[in-house]
Amino acid sequence: MYIVDVTSFPTDENGITENMKNASNKSKELIDSLVGYVEQKRGALREEQIRTLVRDFTSFLLDNSLSNGFSDLISAFILENEHNEDFQAHLLQIKEGAVLFAGLNYNSNISDTSAWKNEIIIYVENEILFHLAGYNGSVFKKLAEDLFSLINEMNLKSKHNVIKVRYFEEVFDEINDFFDKAIDIVDGKEYVSLENYAMSEIVKDCKSSSDVISKKTAFYSLLRNKSILKEEKRNYYTASNHEYNLESPETIAKYNISDDKLRYIKHLNYVNILRKGKYTCDLRKSNFIVLTETGKMLKMAMEFADNKAYAPLAINMNVLTNRLWYDLNKGFGASAFPSTFDVILKSRIVLSKILTQNVADKFDEAKQKFYSKEIDEEQLADNILMLREEVKRPEDIKVGDLEDVLSFISEDKLAIYKSEKETLQSRLRQSEKEKTLLVSTIRKGESEREEMRTQAELKNKALKEKNNELNEQRKEDLKLQISDIEQRKEKADSKISKKLKISKYFIICVVVLYYASILFIFLKSNETMQIIIPMLLTIIPPAISIVFVTTIRKTN
């Protein structure tokens, strides 16, 4: 039976280790299941391999660096049991014991969980800042936010900023270079490498360089709001600091540090100089430390310490989060643990890292084949397309993807190109068929729409011409009507004019005759008639006028 060995864990009078021993007893079933799962995937294991597997599983729970021997299968095993409540309950108990163990590590007084008293400056690396900004996905963003929340709590508990967060000049320069490259990518001068999640996130939705600059401004604003500031410039290479110097050509060669990653050794060197080469068993009294998720930096930091009990020059987010949780006396059995407690989450992170590294290695292999002319430019492009599909962030890894992920990780590098090439070519052929069908459909639709548009234009033209004809006909009819009316008016005017002339002469003759007759009668008549005649002169003219008007109206 192979179990997590906790018999050597520290203990105290309150029997803290007892809880861990109980968790260890419950882990027996898990270990047996794990061994069975790994043997199912890789075949029977030797005794030595089983011991390595158990050691890796223990390291997994303790947040220590893993060898790549079994870490992928350990992560897959945990993910496959994601919905097994009994399994998860046992795993959580073991994890609580692991966090207790992490809290006991680098602690000179395990009974002291009071507020931190000694000021400590934490120097964060690029990846931590990008995690906090969400450039590496929601999982790493949550991990970083949980950590900085605990830092704030400890500062409140200590009643001053006992924990300060800074970043070195090299980090500042590298971040600026990163955003400059993002501008080049948006402008079409560069391309995003396969494993570079942060760059993909920054250039996403950016249409111009100004969009990238806006994101850069927002990034530095976030850092200021979190009180994460750039470290003041110091001269670390004075003669008085020479004895604490860790940089050397031998060290760079030993750890195979490339020119673009010299900050790895530089930042560990800076911290060692700031510490004056002194180490302590109490993390709280280390004064200066680097916070990074880079495996090479963590390995170097551990190896630079003469004693494994010493607080190293660098730690990762998990270790610091667990230690703050322990010192804040948060306790266990709570409903809201920090994300570092989530072993399922860590399994996804580990698988994503292994997968990403595997993709990067195979991408380098494809480039080497291209440089050595084993493959041409088109084949290199095919490899890049295939590899890009394999890259996954932690949040993108699901239980249903495990077989494909493990298969990709374990496949022989040289055999991958051929098998994946064939698969890719099949996909491309299918894509071409779909593209051809889609283009044909689109063209047919465009042809039909064009024909309908032409018919509609002809109908509109015919209607317009018909309307024009009707309008012209109406104009002609209107002209004829007006002409007819004018002719009738002319005839009526002529007729009336003649009648008026006749009436005028008739009236003149009647008036002359009337007065002549009156005068004759007046002269011939007696006195009585002479009285009557004036009266008649008054009545007769109006009567004649009435008769005349009536005659004219009847005539019209």
pLDDT tens digits for range 21-48: 555 566 677 788 888 988 888 888 898 9
Phi, psi at residue 302, to the nearest 5°?
A: -70, -40
Nearest to 196 by CA among 357, 351, 369: 357
pLDDT band at 437 (very low <50, low <70, confident <90, very high): low
Mean pLDDT of 2-11: 40
pLDDT at position 398 is: 83
Statement to judge: residues 486 and 457 lie in one domain: yes
Percent above pLDDT 90 for the chain: 27
Q: Which of 370, 398, 417 lies at the terminal end of a domain, its last residue?
A: 417
Confirm whether pTM is higher than 0.85: no
Residue with the two structure tokens 């080469």: 277
Statement to judge: residues 412 and 429 lie in one domain: no
pLDDT at position 169 is: 95
Q: Residue 203 pLDDT > 70, yes or no?
A: yes
Element spanning 291, H or E: strand 288-291
Statement to judge: residues 249 and 189 lie in one domain: yes
Amino acid at the residue 278: K
Q: Which of 328, 348, 375 lies at the terminal end of a domain, its last residue?
A: 328
Statement to judge: residues 410 and 440 lie in one domain: no
pLDDT band at 163 (very low <50, low <70, confident <90, very high): very high
Q: Between the CA atoms of 398, 402, 351 and 354, what dihedral angle is there, to the nearest 10 degrees?
A: -140
Q: Which of 328, 348, 380 lies at the terminal end of a domain, its last residue?
A: 328
Mean pLDDT of 312-318: 92
Statement to judge: residues 431 and 295 lie in one domain: no
Query: Mean pLDDT highest for which of 203-217, 396-410, 495-509?
Result: 203-217
Mean pLDDT of 533-543: 69
Q: Is residue 72 part of a domain?
A: no
C-alpha 282/C-alpha 306 separation (Å) is: 15
pLDDT at position 21 is: 53
Q: Is residue 39 part of a domain?
A: no
Poorest-confidence range of 157-166, 179-188, 302-311? 302-311
Q: What is the tally of structural domains in the chain? A: 3
Nearest to 133 by CA among 59, 208, 205, 226: 226
pLDDT at position 108 is: 52
Statement to judge: residues 288 and 162 lie in one domain: yes
Query: Mean pLDDT highest for which of 359-373, 411-425, 537-551?
Result: 359-373
pLDDT at position 537 is: 67
pLDDT at position 266 is: 95
Q: Is residue 85 part of a domain?
A: no
Nearest to 203 by CA among 213, 126, 194, 195: 213
Q: Residue 445 pLDDT > 70, yes or no?
A: no
pLDDT at position 17 is: 47
Statement to judge: residues 223 and 169 lie in one domain: yes
pLDDT band at 99 (very low <50, low <70, confident <90, very high): low
Helix (H, G, I), strand (E, B) or coil at 307: coil
Q: Residue 84 pLDDT > 70, yes or no?
A: yes
Statement to judge: residues 412 and 427 lie in one domain: no
Domain ranges, residue 379: 356-417
Query: Mean pLDDT highest for which of 42-56, 205-219, 328-342, 441-455?
Result: 205-219
Poorest-confidence range of 28-32, 209-213, 519-523? 519-523
Statement to judge: residues 516 and 548 lie in one domain: yes
pLDDT at position 331 is: 60
C-alpha 10/C-alpha 102 separation (Å) is: 11
Q: Is residue 261 part of a domain?
A: yes
Mean pLDDT of 470-493: 80
Q: Between the CA atoms of 391, 345, 39 and 47, what dihedral angle is there, to the nearest 10 degrees?
A: 120
Statement to judge: residues 181 and 305 lie in one domain: yes
Poorest-confidence range of 225-234, 315-324, 509-518? 509-518
Annotate 12-28 with DSSP letters as a single string.
-TT-HHHHHHHHHHHHH
Element spanning 486, H or E: helix 413-524
Pairing of the two strands 163-167 and 314-315: unpaired
Query: Mean pLDDT highest for which of 267-271, 514-518, 536-540?
Result: 267-271
C-alpha 319/C-alpha 99 separation (Å) is: 9
pLDDT at position 3 is: 38
Asked if 273 and 245 count as a contact pair (C-beta separation under 8 A), the reply is: yes
Statement to judge: residues 428 and 279 lie in one domain: no
Q: Residue 300 pLDDT > 90, yes or no?
A: yes
**How high is the mean pLDDT of the chain?**
79
Q: For residue 478, how many other CB atoms are within 10 A of its CB?
A: 10
C-alpha 198/C-alpha 204 separation (Å) is: 10
Statement to judge: residues 445 and 399 lie in one domain: no
* Ramachandran category for residue 188: left, alpha or beta (phi over 0 → left; psi -120 to 50 → alpha): left
pLDDT at position 120 is: 96
